[in-house]
């Protein structure tokens, strides 16, 4: 029965971890089998529940202003959702900032629907077992509407160029008590932390393959993880402070990752450990 | 504090992909970005964002220092080494493994502190063949 | 706003055809084995039963336990006896029921 298939694979995964003598290759094959079994049926990806939830949130009136988000301009004009994610992050004149999909949704939730920004920024990411928050579900829906398309942000506006350069500089910048930069772990092909493979973002081919899978459903925490949440979590592991949702820093890093992933296909929600 | 320019053109560095920083990224810009990114952080935590001299050197050169720079780093860092006061360089390896296995400590969820900090070694090093991770 | 269950039933089918029905529901499936940061147990709260009826007759049933992952995906096959309506019910510890219906037209 498919419902427990996932658990059989989880047991396989744990069993394989217990046999320390196994080679990395053998473990990778088992992990790949587990992953491909889960990917074989995209319909069954629990992240789809948040895609649908996000769609409902996008189309339903909400907030103190009691308006829907359909009037939100994601870069292609109000009401245009298809393909918008493939062109983010980008500069928005009304915000006078470069924004990624999550920061833009937050902006629209604040300016159009009247939600309080401070509340949106408080504990924005789900704990283990909790579903992704509303803005994250909406971001998953928006990204889903670009499935099959390739990342194609132009990075032509001066502020976009600045964000990109900053993102790259930050990616290689060491700080914190353990001297970590992003590049410390994402250092080369085939690196991993515990059983988690680390994409080598400096190599375009790997970025193209991986970046388009975010937001992704994370099996171990049973929720969708957005790119902002992923970066927040990385910085937590790097022993750095809590990075603010939608901050210039996070948007700069995402700009760098998306640029590296240029031409790579969007295929969300992904499925992660 | 000397203002440093982070040189953006790393064309010659091995392993680096395309560099998008045709413009030089000024340290002041980086500092501005960092100052607004962590509004909940105390001053004590904010000090983590500024690398020390060695970290800045490594960041600027993307971990590929010149031979001269590498020598300077080694000399500087060797001076900070603290050897055990009792002179014993080999300790209890089981204790060592415990510390190596533990990633606890220094993350913002590790306060208030409830146990001793681990070494977080397995984040990057295999150390023993038995360890799959 | 919580997610509605996802259900895939073919738009139409022939009598005698074997069709696949897929369901996906958002639920934490709390096992009762996890602990909070303060050491207290997170109470068990599972969907313990899934029932599928077609045209009033039970066609599939599953008893779920602590080994079932969160956001359970369940699919099953059915030989189409005729037109009718599916009724899917998930029953939670404590008795709460979540029910969804889907019609199946027959060609």
| Neighbour count for residue B83 (Cβ, 10 Å) | 8
B96 three-state secondary structure: helix
**pLDDT at residue B15, rounded to an integer:** 38
Residues on chain A touching C44 (C-beta within 8 angstroms): none
Helix, strand, coil share (%) of chain B residues, nearest 5: 40, 5, 60
pLDDT digits (tens, 9 = 90+) for A90-100: 999 999 999 99
- Asked if A172 and B50 come within 8 Å (Cβ–Cβ), the reply is no
Distance CA B130, CA C49 (A): 42
Quick one: pLDDT band at residue B10, thresholds 50, 70, 90?
Answer: very low
Buried-state track A157-176, b at ≥16 Cβ within 10 A, e below 16: eeebbbbbbbbbbbbbbbbb
Residues on chain B touching A252 (C-beta within 8 angstroms): 33
Q: Is the pLDDT of residue B72 over 90?
A: yes
A193 three-state secondary structure: strand
Identify which has the larger pLDDT, A32 or B105. Answer: B105
pLDDT digits (tens, 9 = 90+) for C80-93: 999 999 999 999 99
Using the Cβ of A219 and the Cβ atoms of chain C, whether some distance falls under 8 Å is answered with yes
CA distance B52 to chain A (A): 8
A17 and A139 part of one domain:
no
A213 and A185 part of one domain:
yes
Q: Is the pLDDT of residue B3 over 70?
A: no
Structure tokens belonging to residue A158: 């001066």
Please state, rounded to an integer, the average pLDDT across all residues of chain C: 94
Quick one: pLDDT band at residue B23, thresholds 50, 70, 90?
Answer: low
CATH number at residue A187: 1.10.760.10
A26 and A4 part of one domain:
yes
Alpha-carbon distance values, B73 to A71, B27, B63, B99 (Å)? 55, 21, 12, 27
Distance CA B101, CA A113 (A): 48
| Global confidence as pTM | 0.87
C13 three-state secondary structure: strand
**pLDDT at residue A117, rounded to an integer:** 97
Distance CA C46, CA A52 (A): 23
Quick one: pLDDT band at residue B20, thresholds 50, 70, 90?
Answer: low
- Asked if C3 and A131 come within 8 Å (Cβ–Cβ), the reply is yes
The ipTM (two decimal places) reads 0.89
- Strands (E) located in C64-96: 73-79, 84-92
pLDDT digits (tens, 9 = 90+) for A191-243: 888 777 899 999 999 999 999 999 999 988 999 999 999 999 999 999 999 99
Q: Is A219 left (phi over 0), alpha (psi -120 to 50) or beta?
A: alpha
Using the Cβ of A13 and the Cβ atoms of chain B, whether some distance falls under 8 Å is answered with no
State the residue range of the domain holding A32: 1-40
**pLDDT at residue B91, rounded to an integer:** 92
Question: Residue C62: which of A3, A10, A48 has the nearest Cβ?
Answer: A3
Would you call the peptide bond into A162 cis, given omega within 30 degrees of 0 as the criterion?
no
**pLDDT at residue A131, rounded to an integer:** 93
Residues on chain B touching A262 (C-beta within 8 angstroms): none
C23 three-state secondary structure: strand
Distance from the first to the final alpha carbon of chain C: 37
A28 and A159 part of one domain:
no
Whether residue A195 contacts residue A31, with contact meaning beta carbons closer than 8 Å, is answered with yes
Distance CA C49, CA C97 (A): 10
A200 and A118 part of one domain:
yes
Domains detected in chain C? 6-106 (2.60.40.10)
Domain boundaries, chain B: 5-78, 86-133
CA atoms within 13 A on the CB side of C19: 22
A150 and A36 part of one domain:
no
- Those residues whose C-beta lies under 8 Å from the C-beta of residue A40, and which sit 6 or more positions away, are none
- Fold for the domain defined by B5-78: Cytochrome Bc1 Complex; Chain D, domain 2 (1.10.760)
A171 and A254 part of one domain:
yes
Alpha-carbon distance values, B70 to A242, B54, B62, B66, B74 (Å)? 32, 9, 13, 6, 6
Distance CA A206, CA A234 (A): 18
Quick one: pLDDT band at residue C1, thresholds 50, 70, 90?
Answer: low
Please state, rounded to an integer, the average pLDDT across all residues of chain A: 90
Mutate to test the interface with B, among A165, A247, A273 (most CBs of B within 10 A): A165
Quick one: pLDDT band at residue B9, thresholds 50, 70, 90?
Answer: very low
Structure tokens belonging to residue A23: 């080679």
Please state the rounded mean pLDDT for residues B98-115: 93
Residue ranges, chain A, pLDDT below 70: 1-24, 38
Distance CA B29, CA A163 (A): 10
A76 and A173 part of one domain:
yes
A15 and A53 part of one domain:
no
A72 and A123 part of one domain:
yes
A34 and A47 part of one domain:
no
Distance, C-alpha A99 to centroid of its chain: 14
- Those residues whose C-beta lies under 8 Å from the C-beta of residue B97, and which sit 6 or more positions away, are none
**pLDDT at residue A18, rounded to an integer:** 42
Q: Is the pLDDT of residue B21 over 60?
A: no
Neighbours of chain A (3+ CB pairs under 8 A): B, C
Number of compact structural domains in chain A: 2
A93 closest CA partner among A75, A118, A119, A113: A75
A68 and A25 part of one domain:
no
Buried-state track C61-94, b at ≥16 Cβ within 10 A, e below 16: ebebeeebbbbbbbbbebebeeebebbbbbbeee
Q: Is A234 a catalytic residue?
A: yes
- Asked if A21 and B130 come within 8 Å (Cβ–Cβ), the reply is yes
């Amino acid at each position: 029965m498919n419902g427990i298939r996932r658990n059989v694979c989880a047991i396989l995964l744990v069993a394989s971890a217990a046999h320390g003598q196994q080679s990395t290759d053998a473990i990778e094959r088992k992990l790949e089998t587990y992953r491909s079994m889960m990917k074989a049926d995209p319909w069954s990806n629990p992240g789809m529940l948040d895609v649908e939830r996000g769609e409902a949130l996008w189309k339903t009136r909400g907030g103190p202003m009691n308006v829907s988000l359909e009037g939100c301009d994601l870069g292609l004009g109000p009401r245009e959702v298809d393909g918008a994610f493939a062109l983010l992050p980008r500069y928005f004149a009304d915000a006078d900032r470069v924004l990624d999909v999550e920061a833009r949704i937050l902006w629209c939730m604040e300016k159009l629907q009247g939600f309080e920004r401070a509340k949106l920024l408080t504990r924005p990411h789900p704990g283990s077992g909790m579903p992704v928050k509303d803005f994250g579900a909406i971001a998953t829906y928006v990204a889903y509407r670009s499935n099959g398309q390739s990342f194609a942000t132009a990075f032509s506006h001066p502020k976009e160029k600045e964000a990109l350069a900053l993102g790259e500089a930050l990616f290689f910048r060491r700080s914190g008590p353990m001297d970590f930069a992003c590049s410390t772990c994402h250092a080369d092909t085939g690196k991993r932390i515990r059983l988690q493979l680390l994409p080598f973002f400096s190599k375009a081919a790997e970025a193209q393959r991986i970046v388009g899978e975010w937001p992704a459903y994370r099996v171990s925490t049973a929720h969708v993880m957005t790119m902002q949440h992923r970066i927040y979590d990385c910085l937590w592991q790097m022993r750095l402070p809590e990075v603010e949702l939608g901050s210039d820093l996070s948007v700069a890093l995402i700009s760098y990752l998306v640029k590296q992933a240029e031409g790579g296909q969007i295929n969300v929600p992904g499925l992660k450990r | 504090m000397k203002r440093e320019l982070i040189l953006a053109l790393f064309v010659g560095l091995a392993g680096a992909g395309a560099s998008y920083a045709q413009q030089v990224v000024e340290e002041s810009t980086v500092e501005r970005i960092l100052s607004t990114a962590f509004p909940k952080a105390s001053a004590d935590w904010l000090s983590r964002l500024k690398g020390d001299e060695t970290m800045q050197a490594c960041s600027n050169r993307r971990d590929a220092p010149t031979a001269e720079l590498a020598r300077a780093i080694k000399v500087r860092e060797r001076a900070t080494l603290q050897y055990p006061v009792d002179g014993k360089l080999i300790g209890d390896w089981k204790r060592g493994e415990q510390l190596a296995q533990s990633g606890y400590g220094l993350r913002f969820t590790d306060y208030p502190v409830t146990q001793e900090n681990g070494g977080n070694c397995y984040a990057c090093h295999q150390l023993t063949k038995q360890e799959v991770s | 706003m919580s997610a509605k269950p996802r259900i895939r039933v073919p738009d139409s089918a022939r009598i005698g055809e074997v069709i696949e029905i897929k369901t996906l529901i958002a639920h934490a499936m709390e096992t009762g084995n996890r602990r909070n940061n303060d050491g207290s147990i997170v109470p068990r709260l599972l969907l313990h039963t899934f029932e599928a009826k077609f045209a009033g007759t039970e066609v599939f049933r599953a008893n779920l336990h602590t080994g079932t992952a969160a956001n359970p995906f369940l699919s099953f096959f059915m030989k189409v006896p005729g037109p009718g309506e599916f009724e899917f019910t998930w029953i939670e510890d404590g008795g709460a029921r979540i029910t969804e219906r889907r019609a199946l037209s027959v060609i």
